[in-house]
Amino acid sequence: MIKTVSRPRDASGFVVLPRRWVVERSLAWMMHARRHARDYERLPQHSESLITWAAITLMTRRLSRKGATPSWPRKPVSAET
């Protein structure tokens, strides 16, 4: 679900908006894919598929890097098996 966050009315200058940095950081990671630097695609479906491809590439690199640990707890291995 997408929720729009608006700037406070009485604020002046820079104001940190809640959770906006997560979106901006994610978009910055996506821009590392060269095709996203410009709007080359004619159809929105093509652009959406390339964004999905960039996200898959980013996640597989993170999962396959050396020293990556799973986020779930591992079951201890018993010596009997």
Averaged pLDDT, 58-72: 75
Name the pLDDT band for 69 (thresholds 50, 70, 90): low
Q: What is the pTM of this model?
A: 0.51
**What counts of helices (H) and strands (E) characterise the chain?**
2, 0
Q: What does the CA dihedral 61, 62, 67, 68 come to, rounded to 10 degrees?
A: -140
- 5's CB contacts (< 8 A; 6+ apart) are 17, 18, 19, 20
Residue 55 has pLDDT above 70, yes or no: yes
Name the pLDDT band for 37 (thresholds 50, 70, 90): low
Q: What are phi and psi of 34, to 5 degrees?
A: -60, -35
* 34/60 Cα distance (integer angstroms): 18
